[in-house]
Structure 1
Amino acid sequence: DRDWLGIGYHFFIRKNGSIYRGRPEHFVGGHLLSEENNNTLGICLEGCYTDYVNEKGQVLTEKVVPQAQLDALVWLCLYCKSNWPANTINGHRDYDSAKKEGKDCPGKYFPWDKFWQMMNREENKKLIQTFVGFHNPQGVWNAIEKYHPYPDAWYQQWADSYKKALN
C-alpha cells in the first residue's frame, strides 16, 4: 500500500513468543507518521487486543495476551534498553498520529500493569546480579519466587539498596 520494502516495524512478536526482525534498528521505522518515527524502535505484536469489527461486520476480540508473547516482549524491551538509550516505552496509541487514526495498539486488553511489573522485576534482577555477581542467579530467583510471599517487593528493596549505594 505505501511502497515499503518489508514491514514498518523493527520487530514482530508472534503469540508463541517467537521474535522476528523487521527493519534494521538503524533504519527509521514506518510504524508512525513522519517525525514520530525518529529515535524510536517499533515492536508489533501478533493479535489485536481490543474489540474490532471485521469486513463482515462481526465484532471480534482477543482479550488475553499469551504469556509466551508477553515474556518475549519484556525480554525484547530489556534487550533494546540495554543497547539503545531508551527513556520511555510507549504503546502505538500514545503517539499523536496513531490517536488521529483512532488506533489503540496494543489494545485496551493489553495487560500494562502486568507488563510493567515484569519489566521492573527483570530490571531489579539485572541490577542485583551486577552487584552481587551470583554464579547461578536463577537458583536464587527460583527460591525467592517459591518461598517469599512478596518476591517483587523483595527484588525492589534489594535493588533500591544498591541504587542508594551508588548515589
Structure 2
Amino acid sequence: MPQEATLQYVYANGKPVSVIVPLGLWREIESERETAHAPSSSADITSVLDWEPLSAPDLRPYRPDEICWRGRTLRLRQQLVCNISREDGLVVIHNEPLGIRAYAESRESAVRDFAEEFMVLWDEYASAPDEELTPDAIAVKQRLLALVDGERTGEEG
C-alpha cells in the first residue's frame, strides 16, 4: 500500500508544480476534490490538476554478505545488517556500529553509495596503524577486521 502520493497543483501564475504528500493528506484531498487545500505556505494555488499514489519504498533491511565497489569485492564472515529508512524523501541505509549512513533517491542508489562508504572505511582504517587513529576509529577498524573475510578484485560492483 502506498505511503505517499504525488499531487500536481497549478499556481495563480499558471505554473504547475508536483509535490509529494503523506497518504493521509492525499486521502483528505481525494475525499474533498471540490475543496482541496494545499499546505498553508502555498496559498496562491488555484487548482489541483491531478494526483496519484506512489509505491511505497522497499524498507526491508539491507543484509549484504559481500561488498562490491569498482571491481573490488570484500567477502564478509556474516551478513551485515543495515537498517533502511526514509528521511526528507531519500532512502537511507545505515549501520550504526560502523557509522555509515548512505542517502539516495532509490534503494539501488543507496546500496551503491553504502558500498562506496564501506570501501572507503576499509581502505582508510583496515591497514592503518592504531597510533594514527582515534579511539573511535580503532573501534571501527576492529569491527571491520572482524567482519571482512577477504578481498577479491576484478569483479564489477
TM-score scaled by structure 1? 0.23
Tell which structure's C-alpha radius of gyration is larger. Answer: 2
Higher relative contact order (CA 8 A, sep 6+): 2
**Larger strand share, 1 or 2:** 2
**Larger helix share, 1 or 2:** 1
